[in-house]
Amino acid sequence: AVKQLWGDGDHMAEIDDMMAEQEAIRGEKAKSVCDLFCDKAVRWQLITLFLVSSCMQLIGANVVYFYAYNVFIKAGIPPAQTHYVSLGVGITEILTTVLCGFLIERAGRKTLLWKSYTVMALALGLLTVTLSLQDSFSWVPYCSVALIFIFIMSFGIGPAGVLCPLPTEIFIQSYRPAAYVFNGATNWIQLFILGLLFPFIV
């Protein structure tokens, strides 16, 4: 099964890891979310998952999506065409997330996260400037559109691609279902809070 999944080659190291994990959790039932919070052995994994998940929400990807339509209109893109540009943004995110799948093992998770968060922060800073100067020069709105695409590409290559498999990679089998529940709940609760607060912040 491993050869069929990963192709020909020596996969004994991975198989040994699987067998060792299977032996370690033999007869152990899947843990609940309460067990996840109570067990000090997985405290750092839980904190790591929470921080990466929170950063993904708080970096403002959903806010950029929210404002993208207005930026595209200001750039002079006809309203009938903005849907295609928005579709282009979505396709860009999908393609970069797929690209992350190929890069993640070579570059490493930390590198992808730090570099992509740095590019995203710079893009947001510059986007704030270009949105402020939108009416000053005719070329500034196009810079805003380009910055949105750069932001979304960085998001796809980093947080969007790294967070999905993270609970599988840092938790043993018995804790994974609870970790996925915690991760999903954290994401949706934070998204809900951002959705409520953002209009007031604006």
Which carries the bigger pLDDT value, residue 52 or residue 29?
A: 52
Q: Residue 119's pLDDT is what? A: 93
Which CATH superfamily groups domain 31-200? MFS general substrate transporter like domains (1.20.1250.20)
Average pLDDT, the chain: 84
Contact 115, 153 (CB under 8 A): no
Q: Look at residue 47 in the predicted model and tell me its pLDDT.
A: 93
In the chain, % of residues over pLDDT 70: 99
Confidence at 185, pLDDT banded by 50, 70, 90: very high
With 0.75 as the threshold, say if the pTM is over it: no
- Domains of the chain, residue spans: 31-200
Collapsed DSSP state (helix, strand, coil) of residue 50? helix
- Contacts of 193-201 with CB under 8 Å at 24 or more apart are 194/57, 194/58, 194/62, 194/63, 195/62, 198/63, 198/66
- Residue 182 contacts residue 52 (beta carbons within 8 Å): no
Model confidence band, residue 122 (pLDDT cutoffs 50, 70, 90): very high
Distance CA 161, CA 97 (A): 5
